[in-house]
Structure 1
Amino acid sequence: MALPPEILEKILINCDGKTLLTARNVCKLWGDLVDYLSKKTPLWRWCCHEEIPKKELTQYLIHYNKEEPNIWFYIYKNWMTWQNIHDIRFETVLSPAEIPRITCIDVFEEYIAVGSEDGRVRIYDQYWKPLVITRHQAEKVSKVTFFYSDSILKIVTAFSKAIIIDDLFGDGYNHLILEDVVSHSIYKNYICYQKHGGRLTIEKLTNSNGRLLEETWFTRVYSPKNITCINMWNGVCTILISNDVRKVNYVSKNILPASEYHEKCLLNFSSIPNSLTSQQTHHILRDDIIIVLYRAENLVDKEYMEVIMLEGGSKYVKKLFNTTEVLEATITCICLYGNTLVLGVDTGIVYFYHVPSWKHFTIKEYAKRVIIGKHPITNIVVRETKNHRKFYITSSFNIHEVIGFSTYF
């Protein structure tokens, strides 16, 4: 005997998200009941906050249109789908855009920005229709980044010694050049940039009172120490100074210019062969994961990857992997999106990992291996929609869209 809809509602309202997704596919009655509950209560929002780790959920929310009425349902469905990458169906599409010597890429909502060695930045819509071409300097574009400032979409273009901030479709009046910049990082409407000489500054990007930047915090790092890597993420700026990790909560109400770091941690990097100390590349992922690649100048020696998991205060855990032995290549690009780690290598292959826990992560257990081409992978960025995740993967010559579709739910 079938249960009355009222009883089914009381049962479903107490189910977890995975059960609700399964229930939607039982029959039309069950599907209608789950959808009715979704409209009647913030059902999927509860599931997202209860089941998705906070750091992952923060990243997913950036990629969704806040006006989407079913945003929480789509976030949860995609998150649950990507718990098992083996069940994802991948399609690879070559971009129709012909861009010489690609150096960087960024995507935001329906826009794609591509930088090249000739100094040009080309803006496209999601269907690769050309919208804007800019060229501020006749030199290599090292990085392009979209961001919103007071509801105006802007773009930051980085060169070897400067960054330039523009309105995406502006008239040229809101145009700012920051000279002598070595590196920078952006999160939402905040930017942290390092200048030659060791000065590090965090500023808020704004359009109020005719100004584009409002200084929030600064410090100076003196020789012989040097700033190795910086990363802005969710209100925290993580700074690696040689082997010293320092954090600044730049949205705190108590922060003042030149105020002290709110957290410090001294790292002890792994002992590796001396031949591999000549080249080190550091990546800060979010505010709790640091990846260091050790590589020799000659291509005969092996490459090692060290994963450092920051646990707060002075505590951390680390792992060391021989990447050449497992991947038979060297890593050229790293992307972390939610619970998915993507590694691009110099042989044109991309490896997808599901990482529910970094303490149990091993480089041997990749879930998918996608062959893109024969050239080194240089950039990986992600656009998520309600139906799939799309990874824009570039070499110097091509851009491929690797699209992951769910086979369930």
Structure 2
Amino acid sequence: MELLHLPKELQFHIISRLDGFSLLNVQKVCKLWLEIVESLETTVQIWKQCCLNDIPRNILVQLTGITELMNNKEIKESANLHWTFWKEIYLDYERMSLVRDNQPKTTQVMFTTQLSACTSLRLKDNILVSGHTDGSVVLWDTDDQGQGYFKFLTKHRSHVTAVDVLNTVENMRDIDDWVLGYKVISVSRDVGIHVNNPLTNAVQRFVHYSGSVNAVSCYGGRFVVAADSSILNGQPIWQVSESNSVDTRVTSTLYGHEESCISAVAMWNGEVLSGDVIGNLFKWKIPVDGSDCSKPIHIAKFSVSYTKAIYYDGHVIFCLLGDGSICWRVGSSKFQTLPNTQELEVFSATPVCMACRARLLAIGLNSGSVLIYFFENQKSWDDFNPSQPTSYIKASQDSVNSIDIGDDGEGPVIVTSSTNEGISKFYWRPPE
């Protein structure tokens, strides 16, 4: 018996049991099913249900920025977010597959005559921030009509090594203050750490280390940096104020490093991974009582080079080393490595930067190309083969300096920078 011949109430019941991907397609079949889906959207929070059932929690936290989702099995019923919020999150999750079969469009964000060379990029919730060799940190207009428009945020005295964007709103209860929660963190070779509020232009500048600050990682409203001279100074976990101010306070400090120069860091759900210049990779669990921690777990020793960048989401650890080698571990399995010598044979180039967001991984090469990998689900990481990218783009004629991944509300976006070609944006759209 065809489904359309069943009573409407039974069709409603059957459609309410579909996953999100099927819901997106079933509403295109006929007017009745479109009406059923629209009713489900507004009456039973069907998209919230799809997000919780279909999207792994670590990815859901990346897409929403709401860290409490990692710790609660169910969202509090008192947090009545509009159904469009959840639908947009699900669409973001599904749109990542566009990179498989479609070519991106491209536009220029920064022209080379505007600022000094870009050294770092961060794209979060369609907010694009860049750091530069002259110490400038700027916020860009990512709209296609706003090419070349930017807002100056702060100025370091030297080369900016990393920028990141955090949001102090970590739970569903305060989601109405989401727009007010954004803060920009930037670090530099001049030892300075800057916390900036783009809405109020308030900036807090402070120094904790006597050497270069090399990297920064944010999780919720907290951040941690990687820097030289870390054995004595440790790695503080800074909490940023939830108000419009940029006040920060130290909640814990991590000790136990074997090397003073920490080159990379990643923070995720109460854990911090730090890599140093002699190839060690350590993991700390941040004490919930606010005490310090001096007993890290030594999880890897990369003998070929230092750790340049780390991605960690609680399930996957992905490291880019200083010589271009890449190393990764899924769950509790052993680390796998693609050495620099093999990469030259496979890519005819060397990886120099990388970014990962949810189901997408992008690796920038010194040839100007970007390799893009799409993961259907978390099990896809088990079969990850660096020599078989899902697609690739030619981002520049010279080396890619920095890279990041986001979504602009219509499709996935990758931003890249190079010394001779400024900042470029590549964005995917559904086929017309």
Shorter-chain TM-score category?
A: 0.7 to 0.9
Cα deviation 1:258-280 (Å, max 9, x = unaligned): 2455x7243254x7xxxxx3666
Question: Hey, what does 2:292 align to over in structure 1?
Answer: 258
Structure 1 match to 2:76: none
1:398 equivalenced with 2:398 (yes/no): no
For residues 324-348 of structure 1, what are the alpha-carbon distances to aligned partners after superposition, in whole Å with 9 as ceiling and x for unaligned?
2221110111111111111111111
Q: What letter is aligned with 2:87?
A: F
| Partner AA of 1:406 in structure 2 | P
1:74-104 per-position Cα deviation (integer Å, ceiling 9, x unaligned): 2223323434632344212222553331222
Change over 3 Å in CA distance of 1:207–1:342 after alignment to 2: closer
Displacement after TM superposition at 1:360 (Å): 0.6
Change (3 A) 1:154 1:267: closer
Q: Which residue identity does 2:241 align to in structure 1?
A: T
Bigger proportion of residues as strand: 1
Task: Indicate conservation of the 8 Å contact 1:20/1:34, yes or no.
Answer: yes
SS in 2 for 1:281: strand
Residue 293 of structure 1 pairs with residue 311 of structure 2: no
Kept in 2, the 8 Å contact 1:294–1:305? The answer is no
One-letter amino acid of the counterpart of residue 340, structure 1:
L
Task: Verify the 8 A CA contact 1:82 1:88 in the aligned structure 2.
Answer: no
Q: CA deviation at 1:350?
A: 1.1
Matching residue of 1:125:
141
The question of 1:359 aligning with 2:382 is answered yes
Do structure 1's residue 53 and structure 2's residue 56 form an aligned pair?
A: yes
Structure 1: segments with no counterpart, 5+ residues: 272-276, 296-302
Cα distance, 1:362 vs structure 2: 0.2
Note closer, same or farther for the CA distance 1:95–1:266 as it changes in structure 2 (3 Å cut).
closer
**Can you list the C-alpha shifts for 1:289-328, whole angstroms capped at 9, x where unaligned?**
1324363xxxxxxx643223342xxx54434362222211
Q: Is residue 265–residue 309 contact of structure 2 (8 Å, CA) maintained in 1?
A: no
1:170 corresponds, among 176, 179, 200, to 200
1:21 is the counterpart of 2:55: no
Q: Give the Cα separation in 2 of the matches to 1:28 and 1:3.
A: 15
- Matched with 2:404 is 381
The 2-side partners of 1:25 and 1:220 are apart by 56
Matched, 1:333 2:324: no
Write the distance in 2 (CA, Å) between the matches of 1:72 and 1:88. 25
Counterpart-to-counterpart distance in 2, 1:212 and 1:95: 31
> For residues 49-93 of structure 1, what are the alpha-carbon distances to aligned partners after superposition, in whole Å with 9 as ceiling and x for unaligned?
112222211111139xx9764122222233234346323442122
Shift of 1:233: 2.2
How far does residue 149 in structure 1 lie from its aligned partner after superposition? Answer: 4.2
Determine the C-alpha separation between the residues in 1 that align with 2:158 and 2:350.
27
Q: What's 1:235 paired with?
A: 270
| Map of 1:220 onto structure 2 | 255
Q: Which moved more, 1:38-47 or 1:132-141?
A: 132-141
Q: TM-score, normalised by structure 1?
A: 0.82
| Larger mean Cα displacement after TM superposition, 214-223 or 365-374 | 214-223
CA displacement 1:332-376 (0-9 Å, x = unmatched): 111111111111111111111112322110012211111122111
Query: In 2, Cα distance between the equivalents of 1:138 and 1:294?
Result: 25
Amino acid of the structure 1 residue aligned with 2:213: V
Count of matched residue positions in the alignment of Structure 1 and Structure 2: 385
Q: 1:89 to 1:48 in 2, by over 3 A?
A: farther
Contact 1:58-1:234 within 8 A present in 2 as well: no
Specify the alignment match of 2:310 in structure 1.
283
Aligned counterpart in structure 1 of residue 343 of structure 2, from 314, 323, 339: 323
Alignment deviations for residues 152-195 of structure 1 (CA, whole Å, 9 cap, x no partner): 533222111221223324365x5231242634322231122345
Q: CA RMSD in A?
A: 3.1
- Work out whether residues 230 and 262 of structure 2, in 8 Å CA contact, stay in contact via their aligned partners in 1: no
Task: Note closer, same or farther for the CA distance 1:215–1:331 as it changes in structure 2 (3 Å cut).
Answer: same
Q: Distance in 2 between matches of 1:75 and 1:135?
A: 31
* Cα distance change on mapping 1:390 and 1:17 into 2, 3 Å: same
Checking the alignment, whether the CA contact within 8 Å between 2:399 and 2:418 is kept in structure 1 is: yes
Change (3 A) 1:90 1:221: same
What is the aligned counterpart of 1:80 among 94, 101, 121? 94
Deviation of the 1:18 alpha carbon: 2.2
Residue type at the aligned position of 2:383:
H
TM-score by length of 2: 0.78
Given the superposition, is the C-alpha separation of residues 359 and 236 from structure 1 closer, same or farther in structure 2, using an over 3 Å criterion? same
Identity of aligned residues (%): 18
d(CA) in 1 for partners of 2:257 and 2:318? 23
Gaps of 5+ in 2: 67-79, 170-179
Deviation at 1:106, TM superposition (A): 2.3
* 8 A Cα contact 2:311 2:356, kept in partner: no
SS in 2 for 1:193: strand
Which structure has greater helix proportion? 2
Amino acid at match of 2:422: N
Q: Which stretches of structure 1, 4 residues or more, deviate above 6 A after TM superposition?
A: none
Match of 1:369 in 2: 392
Match of 1:299 in 2: none
Task: Give the letter for the 2:193 counterpart.
Answer: I
- Alignment partner of 1:156 out of 164, 185, 189: 185
